[in-house]
Amino acid sequence: MYFRSGESFLRIKKHPIIEFRDQKRIQFYYNNKKKVGYTGDSIGSALHALDIKHLTTSLVYDSARGFFCGIGKCSSCLMKVNGIPNVRTCIAPLKADIHVETQDKLADLPDAEFKNISKKKIDVDILVVGGGPAGMCASVEAARQGAKVLLVDENQHIGGQLIKQTHMFFGSKNERAGTRGIQIAKDLEEEIKDFEKNSKINLMLDSTLIGYYEGEKNRYRFGVVKRIDYDSKLYDVCCKSVILCCGAMEDMLLFPGNALPGVYGAGGVQTLMNVYGIKPGKNVVMVGAGNVGLIVSYQLLQAGVHVDRVIEAMPFIGGYHVHAAKLRRCGVPIFTSYSIKEVYGDGKVEGCVVVRLDKNWRPVKGSEEKISCDTVCLAVGLTPSIRILSQIDVRIKFIPEAGGYIALHDENMQTTVNGVYVAGDSSGIEEASTAMIEGKIAGVSSALHLGYNKEEGKKLRKQYVGDLKRLRLGPFGEKSRVAKEKISNVLEAKK
Amino acid sequence: MKNYEKTGILSTKDFILPTKKQLKKGVAILECVQKIPCNPCVDSCPVGAISMKDINSLPVVDFDKCIACGKCVGACPGLAIFVVKIKEDKGLVTLPYEFLPVPSVGEQVSVLDREGKNQGEGIVQKVIKNGKTIIVTVEVDKDLIMDVRNIRVKI
């Protein structure tokens, strides 16, 4: 049992699983008013704890926008920080005395910041983009083969979405089954730190890859911006091989009121609760009974938040039964064949209307039910993040079973461009356990591509490819199997 | 489609039930009905009573081999294993618990079924804190051992 201080009713004081360290108070300015947050907060989480939910305004309409994805992907939290507009406040660390302001639509860019900025050159064997389960495993594996790795992540913490996974993972011993995601993140971080000691891995946090540029022959060149106390440093990174593990972004649903502050991605809520220790609100309606919806609902209960119900448009529960059972025995109902009709409220969520669906997924008239709540979570799927991949000119294809557009890749995780690899959700939406193995495969492949540890590496890769196939064998692996099959069919046809 | 796929609630028809004799000795009930790639329960069993064909098949308990030690209760990532035992005219249910406050031995708690419905009161007999999933054994009416699957600690 762990306790911590913090005056806001939204800050989690005690938690059965997570140890929130006691933090130091930080003073900052919000629209020129003095406010207090804590070390470890992001700007967005600190504002949320103060019950400030309106962060920005829609680019098109005059409606308020608030915290949604929590991982720097959705642009719903853009604010001006120390005069710099469009800062993704959900991931930007809170620092003492910074000035945070709401911005009106698209603010003017100050041209001083990047003009004549000196850039530092970095030459490295392998660049790994994204420090989630796939990226961490890829880095460790490539370094183990002897390659020099630069690992770039835009968050202040390494670990990607693992750092909010408080549940025990499935799988076998090899996939660290029975271990919580938060612990796996810590273990992998330790491995990375060991490689940092002998300079095999160089970890750059708070750093965003801003684009791909043409490099010398057999080299890839990227621009990376590192933020240090809201001062940016520009890096010109050249590498012989690159592994893109950029993760995914939560999907939005179309319904009136979907942009109201208080409508969150379920993963965003998970980040808010389990990374920053902040509750999203008091009463939640969860939309989607896949694993994400079920797991986050259970974690809301653990954080002391009431979950009114889970609704699911499909006629059955999409996630694992064991996750649904955990929720049901705590008294949370799950309504299948139900959808959300609208969310209402004045500037923030005050309630929602749910509706039953018939066999043809059409709303049944008269079945509407009004629910009073302050939070609506959307757990309706993920879309792979592939923007950098599309810049490199790898072949992209729409594969519905993979979650959207993805880079075509072979069994060794290589894309259609030699030396460019993908792993994890950005190669098709799946689980963290499979992302880790894909990362390992990509790491070994990339090192092999550069000529490191030939025989040993090939053997190891074969083993990992086998592990991955084995994990996907069951009925829940069907979607991934179909996705990967389609990808290989397209590649074959191309040959 | 099975009913639990719609509701998230198993009925006792969804798994194999132990005999009265086996219940007196105490057995683990694996409420794991879907083929998900997972096998920590097999590794956790000290007497080899849980087996699986491969990682994607369902675990099977040999009720005669099972010693009701409860190691698998804490090992199951899905929190889907319970140990049930009949002791004279009382029943004992051992279940995983991940909420606060943690109950103490001797404490009276509400006992809940698979739907979270109150099924009366139970007395906490044992609390094992091994990791963050706490293993609680609660004494209930012996007719309730196949129904009680959660507790609510009174605040």
pLDDT tens per residue across span A140-163? 999 999 999 999 999 999 999 999
pLDDT in tens, A379-412: 999 999 999 999 999 999 999 999 999 999 999 9
> Is A96 a residue whose pLDDT tops 60?
yes
- Which of the residues B54, B100, B149 would you substitute to probe the A interface, choosing the one with the greatest number of A C-beta atoms within 10 Å? B100
Domain range for B103 is 20-152
Q: Looking at the complex, does the CB of residue A177 fall below 8 Å from at least one CB of chain B?
A: yes
Residues counted in chain B: 155
Query: What integer pLDDT is reported at residue A474 of this predicted model?
Result: 87
- Which of the residues A170, A291, A295 would you substitute to probe the B interface, choosing the one with the greatest number of B C-beta atoms within 10 Å? A170
Q: Report the share of chain A in percent with pLDDT over 90.
A: 84
Contacts of A466 in chain B (CB under 8 A): none
Nearest to B7 among A173, A334, A472 (CB): A334
Contacts of B10 in chain A (CB under 8 A): 321, 325
Which CATH number covers residue A376? 3.50.50.60
Residues A244 and A322 in one domain: no
Q: Looking at the complex, does the CB of residue B35 fall below 8 Å from at least one CB of chain A?
A: yes
Judged by CB atoms closer than 8 Å, whether chains meet at B40 and A336 is answered as: no
Domain range for A36 is 2-112
Q: Looking at the complex, does the CB of residue B1 fall below 8 Å from at least one CB of chain A?
A: yes
Residues A185 and A127 in one domain: yes
Instruction: Report the residue of chain A nearest B72, measured CA to CA.
Output: A178
Q: Which of A112, A129, A149 is the last residue of a domain?
A: A112
Helix (H) or strand (E) holding A371: strand A369-372
Closest residue by Cα to residue A9 from A47, A51, A45:
A51
Q: Report the share of chain B in percent with pLDDT over 70.
A: 100
Residues A315 and A425 in one domain: no
Q: Determine the angle formed by the axes of helices A432-449 and A133-144, rounding to 10 degrees.
A: 30
Residues A371 and A319 in one domain: yes
Residue B82 lies in a domain: yes
Query: What integer pLDDT is reported at residue A115 of this predicted model?
Result: 67
Residues A424 and A281 in one domain: no
Residue B81 lies in a domain: yes
Q: Count up the domains in chain A and report the number.
A: 3
Query: What integer pLDDT is reported at residue A153 of this predicted model?
Result: 97
Cβ neighbors of A75 (< 8 A, separation 6 or more) are: A88
Residue B58 lies in a domain: yes
Q: Looking at the complex, does the CB of residue A176 fall below 8 Å from at least one CB of chain B?
A: no
Q: Count up the domains in chain B and report the number.
A: 1
Residue B77 lies in a domain: yes
Residue A253 lies in a domain: no
Residue A314 lies in a domain: yes
Residue A255 lies in a domain: no
Residues A347 and A402 in one domain: no
Residue A254 lies in a domain: no
Looking only at the bridges linking them, the beta strands covering A231-244 and A420-422 are parallel
Confirm if A306 and A282 have CB atoms less than 8 A apart.
Answer: yes
Contacts of A4 in chain B (CB under 8 A): none
Q: Cα torsion at A464, A469, A475, A480 (round to 10°)?
A: 90
In the numeric block, which tokens belong to residue A405? 């557009």
The mean of the pLDDT values for chain A is 93
Residues A446 and A333 in one domain: no
Residue B135 lies in a domain: yes
Q: Give me the DSSP letters along B88-155.
A: TTEEEEEEEE--SSPP-TT-EEEEE-TTS-EEEEEEEEEEEESSSSEEEEEEEEGGGTTT--EEE---
A–B CB contacts, 8 A cutoff, strictly below: 130
Contacts of A473 in chain B (CB under 8 A): 37, 54-56
Contacts of B71 in chain A (CB under 8 A): none
What is the average per-residue pLDDT within B67-82?
A: 97
Residue A426 lies in a domain: yes
Nearest to A302 among B54, B98, B117 (CB): B98
Residue B139 lies in a domain: yes
Q: Which of A330, A361, A381 is the last residue of a domain?
A: A381
Residues A297 and A392 in one domain: no
Q: Which of A350, A381, A412 is the last residue of a domain?
A: A381
Cα–Cα distance for residue pair B128/B115, rounded to 1 Å: 25
End-to-end CA distance of chain B: 40
Residue A236 lies in a domain: yes
What is the average per-residue pLDDT within A13-18?
A: 94
The 3-state DSSP class for residue B52 equals coil
Q: Which residue in this structure is represented by tokens 């991955």?
A: A468
What is the average per-residue pLDDT within B147-151?
A: 98
- Residue B36 CA, distance from chain mean position: 19
- Which of the residues B35, B56, B144 would you substitute to probe the A interface, choosing the one with the greatest number of A C-beta atoms within 10 Å? B56
Residues A126 and A236 in one domain: yes
Q: What are phi and psi of A186, to 5 degrees?
A: -65, -45
Residue B92 Cα, gap to closest chain A Cα (Å): 18
Cα–Cα distance for residue pair A134/A395, rounded to 1 Å: 21
pLDDT band at A108 (very low <50, low <70, confident <90, very high): confident
Cα–Cα distance for residue pair B1/B119, rounded to 1 Å: 28
